[in-house]
Amino acid sequence: MLLTILFLVSLVSCKSILLTNDDSWVSTNIRAAYRDLTKAGYDVLLVAPVSQRSSWGGRFQIPSSKTLETDGEFGYVKAGSPSWGHEENDQHIWYFNGTPSSCVAFTIDYLLQSKEVSDFGTTIDLVVSGPNEDPNLLPGFYTNSGTMAAAYTALYRGIPAISFSGSDTNNSFFKDSLNTDLQNPANIYATKIVDLVDKYFNASNPFPPTTGLNVNFPPVGHLNSSCEDPKWTFTKLMGTGVFQQGVKYDSSSELLQVDIKYVDNIESLCIYGDCSLRAEHDVFLEFNCESTVSVFSIDYDANADQTDSVKKLLGF
């Protein structure tokens, strides 16, 4: 009897997490998050693109052949290997030749159903995406970011999701950079992720449907030695500024280059959200050792006032 109760208790407390990103399954950031979430007692399945899919947004791409046509990120998986597979010594760490959005679908529709992971359940309690190797500050990066796309893809399936982005922009290979150095930004970010995931599962109810979180971490540790434990700051996505993706002409190469500029030119009008909160990019750009936490929704409809105005204008 006691054993049965203990077994039930452990079943209930073991929450399952799908961990993904857009910088590939071998990035230091995702491996540090995997290590720490697993250590914290979560049942974690890491399934992420075999190679960089940054800025692919929500594009849905799946393998068109049984094997990889080119090497994966950092040559860790070679061309000719199967289009999906796992670490030899850990069947909870998978690559998939797809995008962040298709990694979510692959995991839920195929991997968990096929029982290829013998000791994992068939459902996911939370999708954690990232931490990305670069901030994803909205509104500029909502549709562009593969990290955020994995989160909104999960929300469409009714699965709660949190996207995390860091300030360490180096595309680093875990075999080079995964260590126990307390100043390693990947380690600080992983600790913070466990803290927020604990808070999520500690809450008595899940988030309302369609609701996700977007988190941006400031420069920490080796990037800023006076910021080791960035505090959580509740923010909103929209302010008056936007990271605008533009182009500029480079006369030496005679090619266009991506030109990302911060412009502060959105009419300051708060239609949605808690208007008393500060925008995540404003808080982030102060570099005051704060991790921004913004709540987003995948309900795209304009609000009732906006809809009504348009309806009247069109005479419907």
CA 188, CA 196: separation in Å to the nearest integer? 13
Beta strands in the chain (DSSP E): 16-20, 43-49, 84-87, 90-96, 126-133, 161-166, 211-216, 231-235, 242-250, 255-263, 290-297
Render 255-295 in DSSP notation, one character per residue: EEEEEEEEE--S-----SS-TTSPBHHHHHHTTSSEEEEEE
Rank residues 226 and 276 by Cβ distance to ligand NAG and give the closer one: 226
Site string for ligand NAG, 206-235 (x = CB under 6 A): ------------xx----x-xx--------
Site string for ligand NAG, 20-39 (x = CB under 6 A): --------------------
Q: Which stretch binds ligand NAG (CB under 6 A): 15-23, 110-118, 257-265, 286-294?
A: 286-294
Residue tagged active-site, from 24, 27, 129, 165: 165
Q: How far is the CB of 303 from ligand NAG (least distance, A)?
A: 33
Q: How far is the CB of 217 from ligand NAG (least distance, A)?
A: 11
CA 60, CA 49: separation in Å to the nearest integer? 12
* C-alpha distance across the termini of the chain, in Å: 65
Rank residues 118 and 226 by Cβ distance to ligand NAG and give the closer one: 226
In the complex, residue closest to ligand NAG by CB? 289
Judged by CB under 6 A, the residue of 78, 199, 231, 261 near ligand NAG is 199
Helix, strand, coil percentages, rounded to 5, for the chain: 30, 25, 45
287 belongs to the binding site for ligand NAG (CB under 6 A): yes
Judged by CB under 6 A, the residue of 176, 229, 299, 308 near ligand NAG is 176
How many Cβ atoms from other residues are within 10 Å of residue 236's Cβ? 22
Specify whether 65 is catalytic: no
Render 67-81 in DSSP notation, one character per residue: B-SS--GGGSS-TTS
Residues that bind ligand NAG in the complex, under the rule CB under 6 A: 170, 172-173, 176-177, 195, 198-199, 202, 218-219, 224, 226-227, 287-289
